[in-house]
Structure 1
Amino acid sequence: IADKLLFYGGKKDPEQIAQKYDLKLVEILQSYGLYKFETSEDSIKLAQKIVESGDGFAFPNIIRRMEYRVNPVKFPINDEYYKDGYQWFLKNTGEGINPQKNEITTLRNADIRFEKAIEFIYNAIENDELPDFSVSKVAIMDSGVDMDHPDLKNKLEPGWNMVHEREGGDPGDIEEGGMMGTSGYSHGTNCAGVAAAEGNDIGVAGVCPWCDIYPVTYMEGGIGTGVDEDQLLIVYEKYTADPSIVAINCSFGPMAGFGSVQVTSAERESHTLFMKDGRDGLGGAIIYASGNDGIDASYQKLMGYTFKFERDGKEVENKVVVVGASSAWDTKAGYSNYGKDIDIIAPSLSAKPLLGITTTYLVGYGDFDDDYTLQFSGTSSATPVVTGLFGVIFSVNPNLTLEEAVEIMKNSSDKINPETGFWDKDGHSVKFGYGRVNLLKAARLAAGVDMCETETDETNNNIDNNCDGWVDEGLGKDISKVGTACSSDADCANADFAESDVECLKGEYKIFNLDAGYCTIKNNKFACPDGTQTYSGGQTEANCFLECNDDNKCPSGFSCDDSVLGKCWPKCESDDDCSEDAYCNDGLCKRNPSEPGGECESAEDCKYGAMCITQIPDGFCLLMCSSDMQCGEEGAKCVTIDFGGSGPMDICLPGCKEDSDCRNFGGLMSMKCHELYNSKEDVCSMPCQSDADCFDEEAICKSSQCVSAEGSEVPDGEETDEDTIDEETTDSDLEDDPIEEEKKKKSGCSIVVL
């Protein structure tokens, strides 16, 4: 730009020039033979006029903005926990570090090719090959982000709080006593670290280490809070008004137990706005977690909804990007939802063997060096990997439209497990979408160069060596023995799976009778190989069964239990072919419908129209109620509960005489038989921590059970549970947590639901 000064270097009298052009002499620069004048007119046009009039040489005082030529991308990567091998999802060396800080063997290169991608981008900038490179910004729409975290604070904007309708996307006041402990408050901080933790030689590295972060508090504490349609419209206007925001991370969603969830009007309007007008009209990406129910993700209709609008005079179609979770062995995580709506998968925690994602945590509350966690999990942690991916794509080439970036995402993803991945003719898998994230391929395509620098023959190294999109085709593990009849473990072994890695199941298993024997692979040292999966995806499941769907049939004599993605079970002819608590239906054993609080896999397994909450191990039949009469004839009672600080609700819970009558969800998550609970006697519910948990003025909490206060006086010198609850005791201590008590600080599960 130019200011009001100009310089004259002609041979005419400067006083005449000043009078002719209404100039004021400011200074004579004798060394240059120049006169500095001040003008009230446009100095650029006036200098041009002097020259064109033949009055001599003149030029305006041009002001140029100068910047240091500093590469925003840092390489090599020196973040501490990355170098020490904790961030296996960025660079899988064949070893991972579990929550007990023990090394376990993983599948080498089952990662996103992070280091190679960063090296490529760094070198391209150094060689002036990315002239349009810009620093992108990602929005973390979650439980807020810790503004003081050393790996995040230098890149955080103030953000927005949708819960309290104010500026500031922070986690709010942290309450440690809920079922989720501090993990609900830290969830947004966890996501921010995965997507964009700063490359600053400390802590962890994010997928897009240079990306800025716009934090939004969408939920407070991770559960039990919600926002109205108005706030959704407001925050998406904020996203759209900032052209540097390229992607929105949404690691949340409704529980599957509530049935089909329709797209709301505000979701349609707000999402269309950002996809169409975000990034100055080029469009921004919205990335959603598929969910952790281990079922078809299509129950949430937003996942497959088509948004239609015009861009540059042409009608285009888009959808939200739906993310599933993969393991450190390049298999679908058992809990990860699946189906036609899945677009891409990214690494996350595997339940067995247990190996989580290392990322940022609320300062001072982490289970790893205070400010970090080794246990971020679910599709919640896979989603910010993809958010970081879009941050990289739009940084490398900010001129791409959303549609072009999505095509890059699809084309660059690695199609893992070619023989067993249930891939269709369009290159899509109900398990893996269009493939597992490959950041290197995506960065190269965004830069306008070939997807692969070199092409070689395919070898067994879990890399797409020949650049055809498929990984290790023809080199997968031999799972042909799975599901075959057997009499001993030796019958199930082969060259890829030794006798110690397999098990012949015989007799009754769950609701099935496996009288002829069923060969399985054990997952105590590695995740179930692709083409197999556990019965329910839980951490205690130890056997891998043969996968199937409508397009990939079971062997003769077997039935598939799900048309989209299921397991093969011996075909039944009558109820006698099933366990006592099951019946035969069209060749497949089905569980007898459960009473409220009983086990389930879907709503059809529950009586009285109850919902099946599949996040709870083995499922939980949840029936809302207003009186005992609605709870069936088997002794269930209508009581008030408040699990996880989500607010009181009335549900049917089973009756009991002793603790053994109540369900045990694994680890320390055992229901107790409460003597007096919400004015009802002998009710199964979760352990109490204080008298308030009993919802009864006549009851007190004693030894984790609600008992009648009458006759339960506490002797001198003793304390009730309420007296002994201190700041180190939270509901997370009651969870199935692999970390010894002395090694953790109030961390809970890492799944967020609305």
Structure 2
Amino acid sequence: MPTYQIPSETGPLSLRKSTRLVGLKKTNENAEVKAVNAHVIPNLGGFEVVTLSGEEDIDKALDVAREEDAVAVGTHIYFAEGDNRPVVPTGVLYVEMAEGVGTEERSVIFDAFALEILEEREDGTIVCQVTPKSPNPLRVASQLSQLSMVHHAYPDLDVPLDQYFAEPRDGLLPQAWHLENQGSLRGVPNFPLKQGADARVKAAWRLLGNLGDPNITVAVIDNGFDLAHPDLRGKAVAPLNISSNSNQLPTGSRFGDHATPCSTVAVAAANGTGLVGVAPLARLMPLHGLTYSKFLTERMFSHCIRNGADVISCSWGTIDARYRPDSEHARSVRKAVTQGRGGKGCVVVFAAGNEGRDTVNYYATLPGVIAVGASTSSDTHASYSNRGQGLSVVAPSDGGWPIIAGRASWDAGNTRQSGARRYYVDGLDRGVNYKHFGGTSAATPLVAGICALMLSANPQLTSVQVKSILEATADKIGNRWEYDARGYSTKFGYGRVNAERAVTEALRLRNSGGISQPAPPVPTPPAPARAPNSSRIESGPAPKPTPAPARPTTPIRIGNGTGLYRFSVRNQAKTGYGLQMSVLAELANVLREVESAEKQYGLPVMVSISEVNGRTAFRILLGPFATRAEGIRARTRVQSVSGREPWLRSLSSL
């Protein structure tokens, strides 16, 4: 299969087309597609990943599937070199035109590829999507990137991200030592814990005099919510199935089970049975569907802002540099951190990751995010927990004695074990509704719950203040020499979270009135540099040019292009410079524009003829000018006459 070089903000991504997998978007979620041989992934970028009958020729098999009434869209699936995770193009593209390119030029290009504009942003980004008449979105992005009028064109891709769950490796007990650690657990005499190696959650409850504020909402973004679970029943508000943009969440083993334990760690109800979450009175906003897609990432965080999420918990991410979040992902998170909660900002919490590497989950290092690693029941670093700059704090999880969490009714557990050991390593059955749980997946919602308690104590705190307090009140664990002069460690961040101290500081600020300052803006990450006249994106960071402000223009009326014209045609050498005024698709309109430009500016006019996706495009340029300085002087003259600022370009690039 051929390899495609796909432009992306983090550098070219090499993809090869799958010989077995395709993606199908159905006209109805329950519709049956006859051509499907096996279901692989229920949702990836809005497509179901499947294998097809007659897959010996994947192109023909996909064409057959597309003919079925139940199939709205069919697409190929791809793989990055050396990676076995499927990649699907969602059909959305993020395009930025070169400086000086106007709406007429852009329209010609977008029409040539049959693209539909979804949104035009202030930073110059145009969000568009392919239509049934468009070529493959990967091919569109590649061809757009080769045009001199396009600064970049990035296709939106989705790829399965990593859920940061670790199977417990040590003996287990149901006691919630992570809320309060007394140094031992009843029934486990041979496994000592370290007294005080906990998150001080029960002490925070005593300080508050309650279990938190029922007006606080914790959003959990993940796969597999069992909202019928006894500890989650009746807690959900504003649910979202991210890919379908509906409030109906799918259930069953094929849709995952990770979201249920994560949710219960944060907000499991205090209902007299089962377990209790860190913020048991808080509401749950469940968002089903992990996604790398920029378009769907924006949807998920916008939903949280729009529906009043106070805290957003994300136990997933990646340390694969090919799929690190780019400026559009960062923009979505930054919007939540700065604009959520009426401008105070949503508190966004991400897991550091379970790979045991010196690389923190890239999502967790986005500006304004709280990055959470894991500590053990002995107040040591959990060996699987990623380390590195950007880590905020650690929180109790497994690696010593694990914690207990809710279990989805369809959760198959550890299939390598039998009986109760599938859910409880020590083999003691604690009921069908619970399981042992760990990893930074457990540590993250624990911290999200603590943030909910802080906002219960002081709802006026900004997201920046919550993060600052959480870090400043953390307990230093491990060796002193592991912390630098700032009190920071790449293993523990600023330390192990202490809910009691964090709530104390939140209350102090409320009582002292120290909550009126607005949150400082979260800086925008630098955009990667782009070599001049190159379609390849370099991975090194460089400041992104500030978009030019809108300029007044006096449009030239083209009319219907009819009439009698006299003109002379001479070949023009591709040397010097020209001022590009517009790009047109019809020869009759070209003649009228040339006549108008000559009269209005008193300058010679050139026409460059080229093809864009098989269609003829006519560029109208003033010139030629022997030097760049002459071109700049001519551009100033054009501006003074009409207010337009044409694009000064080298004729050698035509």
TM-score bracket for this pair, using the shorter chain length: 0.3 to 0.5
Report 1 or 2 for greater relative contact order, CA contacts < 8 Å, sequence distance ≥ 6: 2
**TM-score normalised by length of structure 2:** 0.47
In terms of Rg, which structure is larger?
A: 1
Task: Give TM-score scaled by structure 1 length.
Answer: 0.41
